[in-house]
Amino acid sequence: MNNLLKKIKIKDMELEGNIFLAPTAGYSDKPFREICSDFGSFLNFTEMVSTEALIRDNLKTVTLLQKASNEKNYAIQLFTGNPDSAAKAVEKILDFKPSLIDINCGCPVPKILKSGAGSELMKTPKKIRDIVKSVTNSTDIPVSVKLRSGFTSESINFLECANYAIEGGASMISLHPRTRSQGYSGTADWENIKTLKNDVSVPVIGSGDLYSPYDAERMLRETGCDGVMFARGSFGNPFIFKETIELLKYGKIKYIPDADQKFKTAYRHLKLSVEFYGENIALKEIKKHLCAYTKGLSGAKDIRDKLVRCNTLDHYEEVFKTLLF
């Protein structure tokens, strides 16, 4: 198992490990990325950001790009259907000094598809090449592409899209092996990750149905992919990074967080969110995270009921006092 945890080279950048936090709308913000870095994630991806909004200097979008204080490496994910827009957006993000720029070619959300971005791009693979090329021509920062298997089960074309992306200069490909039509239903076809790894020369990162360290170990072993990225499996569970690293390193998991550790981490997450967003916005954003931390705990339903009723920081402080002390 030891050889499954390894360094990974993406163009001129070398990462110390191959366990990542995936780009996830509404979740992979700066506070959560800081928490995941605490527990060992080697590369974190921002939420996807619109190139058009970046060009217009949209304040909310620019906020999404901020790097956490403990992030040694982080990737900014862009979505666009326009090569010129992609190139202009690169100028806006260089000051943030990302380690990697990722192009989203997999998002299944209708609003994103209507803009010609996300998995809509898989209908026109040459456009993926053009967008990637516009970015690689604008910066020496490594560029990666995140794909799905295809738009529908009748149009599985991830290999074609990956090869066009590489032709445009992509230095890494990530694959969530579901189609756009599947959304997040059904199961991810890991065999597609294996097929991709056997077909391309750049690093391949797998995602999809990774809910435990054992899932990550199995994906690495069965597909031969170079690394994995956790998305839904990390919600309320940033501990999964430390656990996975231990499993791959030692063949067993030594660290198992108890309820106290989960509550302390949830409380820190709350404080980081308030510090980052301000109280009003933070208290709206944090509820889904805090509820996720209670999963599997004794009395979880009662705890969630208390948390969702909180509408001020002082109220949250009162609840956490009962949980932590």
Count CB atoms within 10 A of the CB of residue 29.
Answer: 22
Are the CB atoms for 168 and 133 separated by under 8 Å? yes
Q: Which of 107, 161, 225, 291 is catalytic?
A: 107
19 DSSP β-pair partners: 228
59 is written with which tokens?
């304040």
Phi-psi region of 269 (alpha: psi -120 to 50; beta: other; left: phi over 0): alpha
Question: Catalytic annotation on 310?
Answer: no
Residue type, 42: F
What b-and-e string marks burial along 41-58, b requiring 16 or more CB atoms within 10 Å of the CB?
Answer: bbbbbbbbbbbbbbbeee
For residues 199 and 189, give the distance between their C-alpha atoms in angstroms, rounded to a whole number.
Answer: 16
Cα torsion through 144, 173, 19, 276, rounded to 10: 30
Phi and psi, residue 309, nearest 5°: -85, -10
Residues 6 or more apart whose Cβ sits within 8 Å of residue 318: none
CA angle 256, 261, 265 (to 5 degrees): 120
Sign of CA dihedral 149, 151, 155, 157: negative
| Residues with catalytic function | 107
